[in-house]
Structures are given as C-alpha cells and as structure tokens.
Amino acid sequence: MLAELLSGALRVAAYVAVGGEPRVTVQPGWLLPVVTDDWDLDWAVFDGSLHPSRGLQEPTGPLLGRAAIATCDLVLVPALLVDRHGVRLGKGGGCYDRALPRTQGLTVALVHDHELVDALPSEPHDVRVDAVATPSSGVLRFPAKM
C-alpha cells in the first residue's frame, strides 16, 4: 500500500499532478522537480508554495541540484502508462529517464487502473521503475530492473 511506503520513507521526491495524472498530496519537506533548460530535472524542497513553469507547478525554493534525488528513499513518478515489467511511458521529454538513474530509492509510478498494461515497447534509454501504484491494485513491485 502506498500509504505504508510513504510512512516509512525518510525523504520523498514527488510531483504535482497535471491534467488527469493521479493526484499526490504533496507534503512540505518533499522534493519536487524543476525542469531544466536541457530537459533534465533539478529539485527543490516543497515549502508550501508553487509557481507555474512550462505548464507545470514547480516549487519556489532554492534549487538543490540534479543529484538531490539521490537523497530520497522513495521517488513517486508520473506516467501515462506502465507495463507489468516496469517500463514507463512518460510525456516524451525524457526528464525522468535522465533523473531516475541518479536515485537509489524505490521508484514508484502512479497511474490509474486502465494505465497499467501488459507490455510496452522500450528503448535502451528508457529507465524502468521498481513498482507501480494503482487505485484498485495498490502497490505492485516488479522483479529487479534489467
């Protein structure tokens, strides 16, 4: 269950949902992404305030650097689709494919039930997630990343 993962996490990276993405109740102290000019992700601590940028809501605090995600033991990741092997389809910018290799924490994609599919094509640059969370199935962990 996602609530159990959250309660056991010392440091969480999350995101502010856009459009129909699953909502996350972002807590003060969590890290939120800030999209850089080269479509990578920097991180800032959520202090309760956000500002619009590139169609997203980003934290207003000081940037911590791209490597800040490495300090998180739980990383909540948006996705359009996830398959049963951890392949994640994002919005096409590759931001999370650039950022996720920097983390040692558990990476969990949050999707609606119908967005968990049997298989997706993947490319060598695609970074798999460790688990997926859906409203009806809860958290499903995948075998070790390949």
Domain ranges of the chain: 2-141
pLDDT at 146 over 60: no
pLDDT, residue 65, reads 97
Query: Residue 145 — very low, low, confident or very high, per pLDDT cuts 50/70/90?
Result: low
Kind and range of the H or E element at 97?
helix 95-99
DSSP 39: S
d(CA 132, CA 82): 7
Looking at residues 108-125, what average pLDDT do you find? 95
pLDDT, residue 92, reads 73
Contact between residue 77 and residue 69 where contact means Cβ atoms under 8 Å apart: no
Looking at residues 123-131, what average pLDDT do you find? 92
C-alpha closest to that of 111 among 80, 139, 143: 80
Domain 2-141, what architecture? 3-Layer(aba) Sandwich (3.40)
pLDDT tens for 19-77 read: 899 998 999 999 999 999 999 999 999 999 999 988 889 999 999 999 999 999 999 99
Q: Is the pTM of this model over 0.85?
A: yes
pLDDT tens for 96-107 read: 999 999 999 999
